[in-house]
Amino acid sequence: MSKRILITGGAGFLGSHLCEKLLGEGNEIICADNLFTGRKQNIAHLMGNPNFEFIRHDITKEINVEVDQIYNLACPASPPHYQYNAIKTIKTSVMGAINVLGLARRVHARVFQASTSEIYGDPTVHPQPESYWGNVNTIGLRSCYDEGKRVAETLFFDYHRQNGVDIRVVRIFNTYGPRMLPDDGRVVSNFIVQALRGEDLTIYGTGQQTRSFCFVDDLIDGFVKFMETDDFTGPVNLGNPGEFTMLELAEQVLQKVGGKSKIVFRPLPSDDPKQRQPDITLAKTRLGWEPKVPLSEGLDRTIAYFSKLLQNPQGMRPTLMPKPRAATTASS
Ligand code: NAD
Ligand code: UDP
């Protein structure tokens, strides 16, 4: 049956794919986004559809709409973006969670939280099952994101226990694909865009750190399967268990794109996790979900997207947001 669904962060990379999928299934979609890292271009093809509505809204403010389901994706996801205004990032996670949970409680909607593998921090257990509590720095440069997402998970489970709110919490591992921003700062888009521009590929550190990359279509299938599953709150890991070093990723991209780019090494950012791989046993058993698109095929599809985009990159520049105030020392 057709549902009315609110998607916060719906103009972003993952959100725009989710809007498209749920709209295609005959639902009515309200996409709420402040366009910090989202782009109208990502949803331009949906704008003419009478079942699609875009509202420019900041999720740190209360929202009131009558809906059956809420997907809460609003939050910058790439380290340079979430560190641009760290205080705003943590407010988005925490106040955003309070606002969507309050709405879900008022209108009796099922509410989904896009949590992250970052809640495991720099993990000491490998691969990471949902039962692992994580190894997270509370005061580092990544903490605004990691701890914001951890508090959001806590809020989701407290609203569930205390107010009976019907929640779904997913922990997303690194996902890539078309509609990432070209200068987003995340590794897959960085390497592909650098290679296409003939620039050198920047590996941070030695390149021996690992990540597991999931293609966006697989992830979005998992989101919807999870949201449609009764009696299962999660948290559940969604990601592709294929694990690669950043050096292997750079070599694959270079081999596919060709050209004259080389690999160069740059300093490793602080608190950069050394390894990451999802244990997806729970998703397999409870949702019957596992990813289908191997890295090589996903990279081909992402390279095709960026090579087209770079011929006409208009409108994909970052939105200018107020710069956070610089630190000052109190003087008497
Ligand atoms: P993205 O930056 O493309 O999308 C985030 C969207 O949220 C953007 O459209 C942005 O404009 C919007 N937004 C940010 N702050 C907002 C605010 N205060 N109010 C309203 N809208 C706001 O990133 P993405 O990769 O699409 O990530 C979507 C969600 O999934 C995020 O919550 C992210 O933490 C989570 N996630 C993503 C990944 C991944 O690999 N892509 C991994 C783990 C978790
Ligand atoms: N990385 C890199 N070069 C880049 C961008 C990122 O070597 O140009 C590394 C980064 O240090 C990290 C990994 O790639 O070890 C994944 O980074 P990303 O920002 O994509 O995701 P996250 O660290 O949040 O998992």
The pLDDT assigned to 125 comes to 97
Q: Do 261 and 201 form a contact (C-beta atoms < 8 A)?
A: yes
The pLDDT assigned to 183 comes to 86
Q: Do 252 and 295 form a contact (C-beta atoms < 8 A)?
A: yes
Task: Judge if the beta carbon of residue 37 lies within 6 A of ligand 1.
Answer: yes
The pLDDT assigned to 330 comes to 39
User: Is residue 145 among the annotated active site residues?
Assistant: yes
Task: Judge if the beta carbon of residue 187 lies within 6 A of ligand 2.
Answer: yes
The pLDDT assigned to 259 comes to 87
Stated length of the chain: 332
Q: Find, among 271, 238, 315, 236, the residue nearest to 38 by Cα.
A: 315
Task: Judge if the beta carbon of residue 174 lies within 6 A of ligand 1.
Answer: yes
For residue 180, the ligand closest to its alpha carbon is 1
The pLDDT assigned to 319 comes to 52
Please give the Cα distance from 311 to 196 (Å, whole number): 11
The pLDDT assigned to 316 comes to 59
Dig out the tokens for 194 from the structure.
């650098």
CA of 6 to the centre of ligand 2 (A): 30
Q: Which domains does the chain have, with CATH numbers?
A: 4-310 (3.40.50.720)
Cis preceding-peptide flag for 129 (omega within 30 of 0):
no
Residues 6+ apart with CB under 8 A from 153: 113, 115, 119, 169, 235
pLDDT under 70: residue ranges of the chain: 313-332
Q: Do 136 and 130 form a contact (C-beta atoms < 8 A)?
A: no
Task: Judge if the beta carbon of residue 174 lies within 6 A of ligand 2.
Answer: yes
The atom of ligand 2 lying closest to the CA of 78 is 19
Q: What is the DSSP string of 21-70?
A: HHHHTT-EEEEEE--SS--GGGTGGGTT-TTEEEEE--TTS------SEE
